[in-house]
Every structure is written in C-alpha cells, then in structure tokens.
Amino acid sequence: MKPIVDITPKRVLVTGGAGFLGSHLCEALVAAGHDVLCVDNYFTGSKENLAALLDHPRFEAMRHDITFPLYVEADEIYNLACPASPIHYQFDPVQTTKTSVVGAINMLGLAKRTHARVLQASTSEVYGDPEITPQPEEYRGNVNPLGPRACYDEGKRCAETLFFDYHRQHKTRVKVVRIFNTYGPRMHPNDGRVVSNFVLQALLGEDLTIYGEGRQTRAFCYVSDLIAGLVRMMESPETLIGPINLGNPHEITVRDLAERILAITGSRSRMVFRPLPADDPMQRCPDIAKARRELGWEPKVALHDGLTRTIEYFEDLLTRRGRSVAARRKLGAA
C-alpha cells in the first residue's frame, strides 16, 4: 500500500503582510494552498494591496503591531514587519528599532511555543556603507551606529543576533535572509526609494532627483524573484539557517537607472542633482553564490521587463487616483 500523502495546508503567519513584499508573499502562499494569516499595523501597508485576497477562504487579515505579543497558531512564520524605506523608518526611529528588536523577540517566542519555522527578513543595510563589493554573507559590514539610518540598520542586526541566539539556546527553527533592493508593483508611492521616486517623477513630468553625481551603484531584484527566494529558503532543510543574500547581482549606477526609466516612459523630465544624504552607501550589490548553491535560486526577470511592469502599475495607480498621466506629462514638458 502506498503511504498516505499529507495534503494538509500549512498555517502560515506573515507579519507585514499588507506591505509591498508581504502582499506578494501572501498571494504566493495562498496560491500554493496554505492558510495564511496576514498581520499588519498598516503604518506603511495597505488593504488595497490585499484586495485580491480579502474574500479568499484561506486568507485572513489582522490589524496588530508585533511589538505586542501575538497569540495564534502557526506552522511557519515570515517576519517581514518593519518600515523599510528611509523616509518611513526615520519618521519614528524609536518605533522602528522596537519593531525590529521587540518584534523579533515576540515572533521568536511564538515560534518557540508553536514549534514553527520562523524566517527573518533581514536586509542588505546590515552591511552599511560597504568597503568591499559584491557583499558576501561573511562580510561584517561598515555601519554607523549613531547615524540617522541606525534605527533600521542596527535594529535588523540585533534581530539577526536574536534569531541565532534563540536557535542556539532554545533550538528554535530559524531562517535568516538579507534582502537587497527589490522593486515592482505595489511599492509605496511615497517611500522615497529610487525606483518609485524616478518612475513617479518621470510619469508626472517632474525633475528626477539624483543624489550626488549618480555614480553610486545599486542592484535591483524584481519582486516575483525575491518572493520565490523567500519561499525556497523557508522550505530548505532545517540545517540551512543562513544568513543568505537575496538580490540581483547585476550592478548599475543610479544615473543609468534614471536614463532607463526616462527611455521606457518617454518622459521629457530632466535630471537634477542634490547632495548625498548622510550614510548613503556608494555601492550595494549582493554576492549570491550561496543562494545559487544552497537554494538553486537566482533572479530571472530582466531589469527592462521589471521596470516596464512597475511603470505600468504606477500609471494605473495615478489613473485610479484621478490624475491624468497624459496631462501631467504634457504639463511637465511645457
């Protein structure tokens, strides 16, 4: 007799599930047949991001701040909760640190009680302004613990420490990934990140704001690729803890990105240059050799294709919000 196959769906908790990454992850998990509980305090997340899921029988949304304990049952926990753009995480830096640190403690405690696997969405910001590129996981970083970005950088570094200590001390089943620049539909329009900034400025006929001379480099991963990496990490053997970099290893300058967006949108916006913000890294590019080797993962979506989809999303967003893209383009060109 063949063994009975267990087709029971997993109970998956996604913190920050109404955000840019979280909403895409929730969709992927529901599509895979799991029961998904999305937890979000809606500081940067939006119910609009969850519109396609709200009536699904395997999906549930809960308003909750993870700096307070959460009493639910779960087989897997994806801890994505924390504002990730400088504009948002610097708005209330103390709360940002609490979300990273106290939130991690609460999710680890929940995982310990329920024996769930728990994945920490860490960040490339743990490398600070790196002195080597690309950045491998073994690089310990160059972070300013006193600067305006420290609430996020050091909060995430502390969260990683907690994950490894819970694993060593309590045998908690943990996973840690470090996410590099990710873009795509559902990015917050006012998050201050370079892709959303440039796309909206180009569509509205406004000047594209470049900090410094635009020679700083970034590497951009499309959201569907990133979500696939998160799921593969969660499903990997328990012996694979991380940290593992997830991002696109193809580096371009910020000025090159601006030129590509202008070309795709057909915008006649100009590029203007402003002083660099404090502690803004000059280079940011992942070494993904470990992800390729351990997860069989690497990005598949080309930058041009991903930017085209992202631009289409923002065009639709502007139209839905009653703003004529064509009229604004004409105004910007006048």
What residues act catalytically? 152
Distance from the Cα of residue 18 to its chain's centroid = 12
> Which pair of structure tokens corresponds to residue 159?
């969260």
Residue 41 Cα distances to 45, 93, 94, angstroms: 7, 16, 16
Write out the DSSP string of 16-79: TTTSHHHHHHHHHHHHTT-EEEEEE--SS--GGGGTTTTT-TTEEEEE--TTS------SEEEE
Identify the CA nearest to 314 among candidates 270, 272, 261: 261
Does residue 213 sit in helix, strand or coil?
coil
CB within 8 A of 294, min separation 6: which ones? 236, 240, 244
φ/ψ of residue 67, rounded to 5: -75, -5
Work out the angle between the directed axes of helices 325-333 and 194-203 (0-180°, nearest 10).
80
Distance CA 207, CA 197 (A): 10
Q: In this structure, how many other beta carbons lie within 10 angstroms of the beta carbon of residue 45?
A: 26
